Amino acid sequence: DIQERPWFYGWQLFVPTYLTAYLSVTVSASGSYMLSNKRYFSLIIVLLLMILIFVITQSRMGLLGFLIALFLLVSEKLYRKELKISKAYLFASALLLIAIAGFYFFGMFDSLIARGSSYRSEIGGAVWKDTQICGVLLGCGFDFSFEIKTGTELHITEHSIYAYQLLRSGFVGLSLLLTMIAFTIVSGLRSKSPWLYAFVAGCGCLLVEGQSLLAQPRAITQFLFWLPFSMVFIAEINMGKDQKGIECPPAS
């Protein structure tokens, strides 16, 4: 990584993976709003700028989160029949795929795939081995020190919030986390909150980012997970008040 992204270490205040993760969450929520309000030109400009930043920073974490949120958005629009598969839609999709294939052919995405899996499979295997030693039901506890050496690098994080939860609290803790995520998605679909897509994008980013959600959570988990979670929860409460005829304050 140092040889491929020297500026990553030269300016420690700038972390490209975090930047693209924040961007993924923001664009997923605002993109849903722009799509619902048919602001297609603005949406295209925002998406192009986001892709450009992904390529420049050579970071894939935000891209992963955005693609998962995009899949949910398109699936929901098709299910609600708000997005119809017309000839124009198929034509635009075909042009987009051709453009992506062209960019790939000319090497525009080489920077995104040059680092491979970044030892994710080896780290995941070490997490599972430690979990089995401690006990797969309750895990190793939150004071457990994880580390694995790959080549010349020493990794001290699990590089996935879900691997972190599995190692620290076993299947019990991981199941509770996944259940909370599932209920939040259902709540967001019911309230039609654009923050749902920010939440899903954040959960997607955390697939490859090993931080804690409960024990000493860092700023990135608060922005990627807890903030959109709270906004979806507020939208659900306001929807319940509206259905009961209770006057709600205007959303900020």
- What pLDDT is recorded for position 11? 47
pLDDT tens figures, 175-225:
999 999 999 999 999 998 999 999 999 999 999 887 778 766 677 888 899
Residues of the chain by 3-state class (helix, strand, coil), percent to 5: 70, 0, 30
- ∠ CA 196-199-203, nearest 5°, is 140
pLDDT tens figures, 12-23:
456 778 888 999
Q: Which of 41, 40, 66, 42 is nearest to 53 (CA)?
A: 66
pLDDT tens figures, 149-163:
877 777 777 888 999
- Is residue 92 very low, low, confident or very high in pLDDT (cuts 50, 70, 90)? low
Mean pLDDT on 103-112: 61
Whole-number Å distance between alpha carbons of 49 and 60: 15
Q: Are strands 148-150 and 153-155 parallel, antiparallel or unpaired?
A: antiparallel
Mean pLDDT on 136-143: 89
- What pLDDT is recorded for position 79? 82
- What pLDDT is recorded for position 218? 73
Lowest mean pLDDT among 110-114, 179-183, 229-233, 238-242: 110-114
Query: DSSP letter at 223?
Result: I
- The model scores a pTM over 0.75: yes
The answer to whether residue 2 scores a pLDDT higher than 80 is: no
pLDDT tens figures, 44-91:
888 888 888 887 887 788 888 999 998 998 888 888 877 766 666 677
- What pLDDT is recorded for position 252? 46
